[in-house]
Structure 1
Amino acid sequence: MARPSCRAQRMLFEATEGAAEMAARRGTLVGPLRLSAPVGFGVLHLGPALYRFLADHPAIDLTLELDDRFVDAAADGFDAVIRHGTIADTRLVAKRHATSQRILAASPAYLARHGMPQSVADLKAHCGILYANRDADWRFAGPAGWTVVRPRAALRVNNGLVMRGAALAGLGITLLPNFFAHADVATGALIRIDTGCDAEGAELHIAYPRERSASAKIAALTRSLRATFGEPPYWDSPPSGTAGLIPR
């Protein structure tokens, strides 16, 4: 079957959104909503937050596609994308949605074998579990500006869940957004490493195609996620005995 033309897709979208907006004026959000998000954040945090959103808006037909690549939101037909990091695509309207500290962490077993780094310079002698899509990922703020460290790679991978798993297995030190590591740090499965310098932070953005105005569904989703994640987000809050659980 031939794929619909861009004009036909646009007409279908406008008709669908028109019906959805009319329902929204009556106080009901209805119709399809297609999202893309990174795998790790989607599994750990976005999925549970969306369950709550759908419970509040049961007439929405939600499709969530988890993918660590930077999808083409407009061409691939997504209503919105949630991304970790800067969104450079000028065809999108991007809004910062949440922040996360990035922390150095390793297992107790690894640190028992190799010692606890005391400074950024000490990291060069350690094994690193590195994010494959960024060569200069380990950046730290110091009195003289940014310092980039490149430890010996024990593993390079483009997925935060695998990086976290490798750190838990004792393969080395990893630098991860706190939304991956906060529960393991709270239980002691991972030890947070303090070098005296802060790692470059992380930001989560929600973005939608510029040619489409922000729909009532996207606005409601944004409010729901912000209410669920909190400000600051719960993964950056001090442990309260409920690590890893989304507060209600």
Structure 2
Amino acid sequence: MKLDGIAAFVAIAEAGSISEAARRLRLAKSVVSDRLAQLERELGARLVHRSTRRLTLTEDGLIFLELASSSLRGLETAAATLSERRGTLSGPLRISAPVTLTALHLGPALYPFLRRHPQIDLTIELDDRRVDAQAEGYDGVVRHGPMRDSPLTAWRLARSRRVLVASPDYLERNGAPRNLDELEGHRGIFYTHRGIADWRFEVGEKAVQVRGRPGLRVNNGVVMCDAAKAGLGITLLPLFIAGPDIRAGALRVLDVGAEPEAEFIYVAHPEGRRPSAKLRALADCLREAFGDPPYWEAGL
């Protein structure tokens, strides 16, 4: 059996389609399909049911996948271990990261890391939705939010303080809420991946959820910030987005007598899978670049 055929089969099983596996492997779809067909001939077994609607694994495919994927991970770990012994980090590293955080802070922090380790082949997929790191073949997932229970093992990179903000114009027209009860009556700008339930505050040892009146729902933090500056309502934003506009006076921080729920920037990897030295090195690089407290909170 050829290793590239096994790798193609594992990628197809994880991606759920030959076309997506080809994209992840950066190969032509025909090449991936041919490698799967050759592997099936070598094994003398059908591994995949193909249809026009979807692709599913056969019983033989399910059995072979468990052994093949663990073997591939073992080989990758062995290769990485040899690289580490030589004092180098090399090979592919695939992570998922949020769009705005990457554009503003993650990307600039990673460029020196890649210059120091030119043999690393890094792929960053920008996506704000919740991803399944195991099923979608990510080595790590960078995210911003509360660190709640999940099937991922998370390493904290930096705290991420969020604040309620509004424009001076909005506050002049509508007044500033002084407590959580008054906040409920205000027009809100909400992040669609979290919805209006995102306004969560810590009162003593309890978490209190506030539901404002929806004025705008959008799935991008920069647009939320711009909408708040335009006077469309109150929004809850991390300082890594709102900080410059707060310093410039375009947004004002509101005090409602309670702190928003604690959040962090973290990198997570599938539980039970040994994280690579590359992922550990990347996490260390980001932790050092962000600082504690993070540099974007300076002066606020």
Unaligned runs of 5+ in 1: 240-248
What is the alpha-carbon distance in structure 2 between the residues aligned to residue 112 and residue 53 of structure 1? 46
Unaligned runs of 5+ in 2: 11-64
State the TM-score, normalized to the length of structure 2.
0.72
Larger radius of gyration: 2
Q: Is the partner of 2:240 in helix, strand or coil?
A: helix
Q: Is contact 1:29–1:57 with CA below 8 Å preserved after alignment?
A: yes
Q: Does residue 84 of structure 1 match 2:84? A: no
Q: Is the partner of 1:64 in helix, strand or coil?
A: strand
Q: Is contact 2:139–2:275 with CA below 8 Å preserved after alignment?
A: no
What is the alpha-carbon distance in structure 1 between the residues aligned to residue 290 and residue 181 of structure 2? 34
What is the alpha-carbon distance in structure 2 between the residues aligned to residue 144 and residue 62 of structure 1? 41
- The 1:108–1:207 alpha-carbon spacing in structure 2 relative to 1, beyond 3 Å, is same
1:226 corresponding residue in structure 2: 287
Shift in Å at residue 77 of structure 1?
A: 1.0
Q: Is contact 1:35–1:78 with CA below 8 Å preserved after alignment?
A: yes
Q: 1:128 aligns with which of 170, 173, 188?
A: 188
Q: Does residue 168 of structure 1 match 2:229? A: yes
2:56 corresponding residue in structure 1: none
Q: Is the partner of 1:228 in helix, strand or coil?
A: helix
2:23 corresponding residue in structure 1: none
State the TM-score, normalized to the length of structure 1.
0.86
- Larger helix percent: 2
Q: 2:9 aligns with which of 4, 7, 13?
A: 4
What is the alpha-carbon distance in structure 1 between the residues aligned to residue 68 and residue 208 of structure 2? 51
For residues 36-75 of structure 1, the aligned pairs below 5 Å read: 36-75=96-135
Deviations 1:50-83 (A, max 9, x none): 1121122121111000111111111111111112
Shift in Å at residue 40 of structure 1?
A: 1.8
Q: Is the partner of 1:136 in helix, strand or coil?
A: helix
Moved more, 211-220 or 140-149: 140-149
State the one-letter code of the partner of 2:295.
Y
Q: Does residue 114 of structure 1 match 2:205? A: no
Q: Is contact 2:196–2:214 with CA below 8 Å preserved after alignment?
A: no
2:19 corresponding residue in structure 1: none
Question: Which contiguous aligned blocks of 4+ residues in structure 1 show a shift greater than 4 angstroms?
Answer: 7-10
For residues 147-162 of structure 1, the aligned pairs below 5 Å read: 147-162=208-223
State the one-letter code of the partner of 2:232.
L
Moved more, 110-119 or 39-48: 110-119
What is the alpha-carbon distance in structure 1 between the residues aligned to residue 205 and residue 149 of structure 2? 28
Q: 1:18 aligns with which of 54, 57, 78?
A: 78
Q: Is contact 2:144–2:160 with CA below 8 Å preserved after alignment?
A: no
1:245 corresponding residue in structure 2: none
What is the alpha-carbon distance in structure 1 between the residues aligned to residue 148 and residue 181 of structure 2? 31
Q: Paired residues, what number?
A: 238
Q: Is contact 1:95–1:205 with CA below 8 Å preserved after alignment?
A: yes
Shift in Å at residue 138 of structure 1?
A: 1.3
Q: Is the partner of 1:4 in helix, strand or coil?
A: helix
Moved more, 187-196 or 156-165: 156-165
What percent of counterpart residues are identical?
51
Shift in Å at residue 10 of structure 1?
A: 4.5
State the one-letter code of the partner of 1:27.
G
